[in-house]
Amino acid sequence: MGFFDLFKTPQQNNQAAQSFDVTVTVDGKNYVNGFSSQPKNPNFEARIKHHNDILIPFYNAQSKEYAYGEDITERLLKQISPKANSNTCPYCGVVHPFSASRARKCPACGEKMVVRKGMFFIEKDIEKLDSISSDYYEKAQQVERLKSVLQTIQDNKLDNNYGRCFLYISEAYDCCAVIRNQSFEGGFTFWDYGWGVLNKEALEAVAVVAKSQADLIMNGYSDILFARGMHLMRELKNNTSDKSRTKYAKIATSMFIEYLYELARNQVSDWHEEDAPKMIQVAIKLGNLDPSWILESAEAILKRGNSSQTNKHMSETIAKVQGYTIVENQPDQLKWMIY
């Protein structure tokens, strides 16, 4: 199986879409209808419960560890330097008659004592505090996001909107991976779980109501393509290996190009259409890719289709991607664009 064969659309046909039942109009544009409610499906219901049985206990445990919006500086300082107090030099241990109201040199050893929360610390402790505080608040933010995503899953489950349930289940696993990417039986991680849901259960849920390629696009496959790209962008964002970042950047770029191409080929618009070119440019910079990868990806996607109109639609897609520029060049700035 080739690299791009992993991302083939099921129920593909070579017929161009002739008409669409698009029900949402914004600013004069017709937008993809997206996922819709389905008849109650016991199989999907059981799968959603299986995922909730993993996700909800994980959230409950992590919400006790990470409190969003709470100032935990004092707690972290105690972890870093348990013996720190208001009048003892953290270097030589001399007890002073003055208290920690400002940074100063120790009269006994001459080392600089830094003050946080009314206590003396060495400078390296504060550097460590900045690092673990940043990590803590990022994870606390993900715990809060996980809470919101879990609620969205339940709301969609009540409406029998199974496609969106699985889409958000995948996003929930992404949150879990950022908080603590533990491994499960078989060596699979939260990242693997999220990717698996997108490539199997979410796809099955939208394919149930699709009768053709165009119908599949209309019923949510476009959302899945974009979600696949975002899943890979989150992996790219949280990975420290240059080799892995390059790999994820390449696949994410291909996902977003195929997403834009399918919209152009089926003559519809989607809510994330303006985000995809930006994500592609971010992936190229963070993954250190040559911009020619855009053309290479496009060529591989075109080889899978037989429509006489494909080259025209792909040319439109490439022009849209290449026409987008981002000003930010620093890696940290680029990472903030990935949500």
Q: What are 130-149's pLDDT values in tens digits? A: 888 888 888 999 999 999 99
Name the pLDDT band for 128 (thresholds 50, 70, 90). Answer: confident
Q: At residue 64, does pLDDT exceed 60?
A: yes
**Single-letter amino acid, residue 302:** L
Name the pLDDT band for 34 (thresholds 50, 70, 90). Answer: low
Residue 281's pLDDT is: 95
Percentage with pLDDT > 90 across the chain: 58
Top-confidence residue, 10 or 284: 284
Average pLDDT, the chain: 85
Residue 52's pLDDT is: 96
Q: At residue 208, does pLDDT exceed 60?
A: yes
Q: At residue 13, does pLDDT exceed 60?
A: no
Q: What is the pTM of this model?
A: 0.79
Q: At residue 54, does pLDDT exceed 60?
A: yes
Residue 195's pLDDT is: 95
